[in-house]
Chains A and B, each alone.
Chain A
Amino acid sequence: MASGEATGLRLVAVDVRARALGLCPGEPLARARARLSTPLAVHPFDPEADAAALERLCLWAKRYGPGVAAFGAAEGRDGLFLDIAGSSHLFGGEAGLVADLARRLAANGLPARIAVAGSPGCAFALARHGAGGLVAPGGEAEALSGLPTIALRIEAAMAADLGRLGLRRIGDLAEAPRAPLARRFGETLIRRLDQALGHRPEPLVALDEALVFSAARGFLDPIGHQAAIVATTKRLLAEIAPRLEAAGLGARGLRLTLHRIDGVVRTLALGLSEPTRCPVQVGRLLDLRLDRLGPALDAGFGFETVRLDIVRTAPIAHRQVTLAGDDGTGAGASGLADALRQRLGRGLLRLTPHQSHVPERAETAEPWRVNDVVARRPVRGRPRPLVLLTRGETAEDMLAPDGPPQLFRWRRRLHRITHADGPERIAGEWWSGPAPTRDYYVVEDEAGRRLWVYRQDPPPAESPPPERAARVAPVIGWFVHGMFA
């Protein structure tokens, strides 16, 4: 299975036979093909279909017990947890259940590695990075000690950092002093380690429990001040934030519902360029939004209930805490884009080049987005104006006896040309209708103003079909198309 990236197709998953050939995920497809003479059966990677199939499998697995949870973002979304406490005796004990599960999966053509342990973290580590099998109660530490640290469901970068310190196995990690580890790698590592060893409980989110992130607060005395609304929202988000963090998510869209004391409900929607869990940042954006609304919000006698829902979430990558103390209010362009959208109701724009040689089609202004992949600009040797008019404006009283223009009138001003570079011929897009050819000149007038003018010629007589040419008659003449600095 392969997926397209900026650098070409890469393998995402391989089956048993491919692994036997020495292929592994992450390898560029082209290199794999060049290395092996065997023809490869490659399928495009479809994450949505994978998620749907995993959900079907989870529903099926409910036959072994009600507590089924699919692997989340931390686990790689390619397996499931099954809570068999209290249900294994129905299948003849844990070994009998595992055997039955393995047999049924194999019958459906699903190769699987199954592990049973006292904690979800330990079972995951054994199934993904070990040999699977059953762990007796209390034997987690021994079973895990030989496994690599990545089996603790930490990020690859963190595992690499640990490896650099010589902590390659979970056994090394369990023996290492905890306080320096926590200080250096954050609380996540210690939590994952404790969860795997069974020292700390890890509640599984069962399949039927949808992830809902919302919080509400009621007031005996209704609130009406902007500062109070903002402070309440910050507090509500601070309540939700730990739950978001546990799920590895951040909020990208929020909805604030304000219940007025006389039954009227006001709703505010906030969008963010990048997922966040920071109450300060959201509070600031809400402040700007309320600034813009002003009296339009109409608090009346005040709001008695404030409710905050996270309507859109996105995974958030863990980031090392900076020593300087990140204020978390959104650095750079994303923070600015959010603030402008809340305060003025419009977003940022970015100039985006397009694959066209016709100047007016070679670029548009598109809404700015985080991590936008910007198309590469063609390296042009020819000069292009600083300001391009959306369409050529007629140059009147043109005097151009032998090619370049010498005198013309444009925008009620007479331009006496002292210098002209050109012509640069730009042919029209003949594949989309009759396309006249243009000859561009860079001209400079007496005052030193530089303009981009062109002469439009009719298209060659034989190229367009005669009936179309008759319908859309291209204009012939001189036009000003841009201004240079």
Chain B
Amino acid sequence: MTQRPLASLSPTDAAPRATETSAARLSALRARLVTQAMEVIPRKHLSFGVHAVDGCLPGGGLGLGHLHEIAPEAEGDEPAALGFALALVARRLAEVPGEALLVLAKGHPMPYGHGLAGLGLDPDRLLLFEAGNDLDAYRALEEALRTGTGTSSGGLAAVAGLVDAGLPLIQSRRLHLAGGRTDRLLLVLRPVGADSPNVAATRWRIAAGKALRDRFGCIERPCWRVRLARCRNGRMGDWLLEWDHAAHRFGLAGALAGHPPETGGRGTGPGQP
């Protein structure tokens, strides 16, 4: 701000400068508002590649360096939420070199590397940290956001935390501040039913969806019912998204395309499309 301190004004020219000062102050305040608005919309994004989803998000994608909260919709949807978070990490890792850090608090099982490979995430590029409790998990996430910010090559590209309780306001503010300087994808996956007010830029609710079938009627791609429950400077939405692990791409599961009719059968018949 180019605001001049009042004490430096000499008493002789104080009167003519008074209006000028207030005008300058007003313009300075306006400039500050603009910069604050700029801070809200981050510089870089991770797009979903789906127009319907990106359109709801400010800037056309998940803001990098901003905090995003992911939660399962209901009890039993935890693997779907974990899969969605790791799919986002895989999409980020496909764009840039570097590694991803997954911080696991107590109560979260270790992901299975052979299964990660099936989701399109290279397990060799995934670093894991087992934190004893949520506090340690948040500390580790903060540390990961601070480490190696000076160098651009070979750093962390994504940081994801799996916490045991809800995302509290104070921790979310700390993470938001620490992440604001980086261009890392920052996700926090919390369990179901631990909703608490926080400063996350987006909040997602994930439920399992019927998997996409291939032409033999076998399960081909995972599919999730994705609900954007809150989005700062954006709109909310509800989609059925599929994940293509080979192309690292989300897709809008079309109306019944590739989905078997709801017959209640086992769906292994040869007549499936």
Residues of A at under 8 Å CB distance from B? 288, 326-327, 329-333, 335-337, 339-340, 343-344, 346, 348-351, 353, 359, 362-363, 365, 368, 374, 377, 380, 383-389, 404, 406, 413, 417-421, 442, 444, 447-450, 482-485
B156 within 8 A of A: yes
CB distance from A327 to the nearest CB of B (A): 4
Contact of A485 among B84, B123, B260 (CB under 8 A): B84
Q: How far is the CB of A264 from chain B (nearest CB, A)?
A: 29
Residues of B within 8 A of A362 (CB): 114
A336 touches B156 (CB 8 A): yes
Whether B113 pairs with A374 at a CB distance below 8 angstroms is no
**Known A332-B154, A339-B147, A450-B222; 8 more pairs at CB < 8 Å:** A337-B127, A377-B113, A377-B117, A380-B118, A385-B112, A448-B223, A484-B83, A484-B222
Evaluate contact between A485 and B131: CB separation under 8 angstroms: no
A-B contact pairs, 9 of them (CB 8 A): A331-B151, A335-B148, A336-B144, A363-B112, A377-B117, A385-B112, A418-B265, A448-B209, A484-B222
Cβ < 8 Å to A, chain B residues 63-99: 76-80, 82-84, 86-87, 98-99
A33–B121 CA distance with the chains assembled, in angstroms: 42
Q: Is there contact, CB below 8 Å, between B79 and A449?
A: yes
**B250 → chain A, closest Cβ, in Å?**
13
Does any Cβ of A come within 8 Å of B128's Cβ? yes
Chain A residues, CB < 8 A from B77: 449
Please indicate the chain B residues that have their CB under 8 angstroms from the CB of A348 in the complex: 101, 127-129
Q: Which of the residues A337, A377, A450 comes within 8 Å of B123, measured between beta carbons?
A: A377
Smallest beta-carbon distance A107→chain B, Å: 54
Say yes or no: B114 contacts A380, CB within 8 Å: yes
A484-B110 in contact given A339-B143, A419-B268 (Cβ < 8 Å): no
Question: What is the CB-to-nearest-CB distance from A482 to chain B, in angstroms, rounded to a whole number?
Answer: 7
Closest CB-CB distance, B221 to chain A, in whole Å?
A: 10
Q: Given A336-B143, A344-B131, A377-B114, A386 and B267 touching (CB < 8 A)?
A: no
Distance between A403 CB and nearest chain B CB, rounded to angstroms: 10
Q: Are A344 and B266 in contact (CB under 8 A)?
A: no
Given A333-B99, A336-B127, A419-B260, check contact A386 B83 (CB 8 Å): yes
Total cross-chain contacts (CB, 8 A): 189
Consensus secondary structure, chain A interface: mixed
Residue of B nearest to A352 (CB): B113
Residues of A within 8 A of B123 (CB): 351, 353, 377
Residue contact B143 to A482, C-beta cutoff 8 Å: no
* CB <8 Å contact, B140 and A340: yes
CA distance A417 to B98 in the complex (A): 40
User: A449–B111 contact, CB under 8 A?
Assistant: no
CB-CB under 8 A from B126, the residues of chain A are: 350-351
B124 within 8 A of partner (CB): yes
Cα-based distance from A254 to B180 in the complex (angstroms): 34
Are A365 and B110 in contact, CB atoms less than 8 angstroms apart? yes
Are A386 and B147 in contact, CB atoms less than 8 angstroms apart? Answer: no
State A389–B123 Cα separation when bound (angstroms): 18
Distance in angstroms from A406 CB to nearest chain B CB is 7
Identify which of A332, A359, A418 contacts B266 (C-beta below 8 A). A418
For A387, the closest partner residue in chain B by CB is: B109
Q: Please, which residues of chain A bring their CB within 8 A of the CB of B25? A: none
Which of B86, B132, B211 neighbours the largest number of chain A CB atoms within 10 Å of its CB? B211
Q: Least Cβ distance of B160 to chain A in Å?
A: 14
Q: Are B79 and A387 in contact (CB under 8 A)?
A: yes
CA distance A288 to B260 in the complex (A): 55
